[in-house]
Amino acid sequence: MRLDKLLSQMGKATRSESSKLARMGKILINGTPAKRSDVQVDPDKDEIVLCGVKVTYKEFTYIMLNKPEGYVSATEDPHEKTVLDLVDPQDRRKNLFPCGRLDKNTLGLVILTNDGDSAHRLLSPKHHVSKVYKFETKLPLTSKDVLSLEQGVDIGGYFTKPCKIKLETEASGKITLTEGKYHQIKRMLEAVNNKITYLERISFGKIDLDPALKRGEWRYLTKEEEEYFIDKSI
Ligand code: URA
């Protein structure tokens, strides 16, 4: 692939920056300065060093993020901060997007990737990938409420699929869903005349939010998590 394409895909330099950096002798290919940025390189074999830092090419990137409040799950927004703003600019590679949406005031696990096929497979309703959320409600939940929520409630013309609820107090617990309609949990609680006051996603399929990540922090998925994410048999 072309050197400038590699650097732009990895979010390291735009094509015109690459061209300038090459002319300045700041890009080494196997130890030799690249004279031009449009040369062909083999990402698996050639060693690329940009301004003294090795650039490792990977076709796909998978990031786990602990979303704080106040960020929207989008790639860009004219008025709001997006979850992508939390990734350091040098690691914000091209075409990264959040795999699924959390509301602006929902916290917790968001996976960012540029692997559209895997993300769409995991988000597709037919795959029933479970997502677990910690929640708190304004009012106590009765056992009748829990039963209704677990069996499915009408959230405005849509009847939710069965889900699981494990109460920890009478107004907090964990809810496991296998679908993700817009504002689903908030609307489900409204359907039983209650209100969500805290919502945090703590797992997505087999991927759990890393407790070592503070709000706003991120890390790459581990090899095991990555294998799960790309597993076509799910
Ligand atoms: N359900 C909601 O209501 N909001 C979220 O962010 C996620 C699930």
pLDDT reported for residue 126: 86
Cβ of 175 closer than 6 Å to ligand 1, yes or no, is no
Q: Which atom of ligand 1 is nearest to the CA of 177?
A: 8
Residues 120 and 212 reside in one and the same domain: yes
Is residue 114 within 8 A of residue 93, CB to CB? The reply is yes
* pLDDT, tens digit (0-9, with 9 covering 90-100), for 148-169: 999 999 999 999 999 999 999 9
User: Which residue's CA lies nearest to atom 4 of ligand 1?
Assistant: 183
Which residues constitute the domain of residue 192? 130-204
Cβ of 72 closer than 6 Å to ligand 1, yes or no, is no
Residues 200 and 211 reside in one and the same domain: no
Q: Give the distance (Å) from ligand 1 centre to CA of residue 220.
A: 24
* 3-class SS of residue 120: helix
Residues 44 and 79 reside in one and the same domain: no
Cβ of 103 closer than 6 Å to ligand 1, yes or no, is yes
Residues 15 and 27 reside in one and the same domain: yes
Q: Flag whether the pTM goes above 0.85.
A: yes
- Convert 49-101 into a string of H (helix), E (strand) and C (coil): EECCEEECCCCCCEEEEEECCCEECCCCCCCCEEHHHHCCHHHCCCCCEECCC
Cβ of 106 closer than 6 Å to ligand 1, yes or no, is yes
* pLDDT, tens digit (0-9, with 9 covering 90-100), for 83-122: 999 999 888 888 999 999 999 999 999 999 999 999 999 9
Instruction: Return the active site residues.
Output: 103
Does 4 have pLDDT greater than 90?
Answer: yes
Give the total number of structural domains in the chain.
Answer: 3
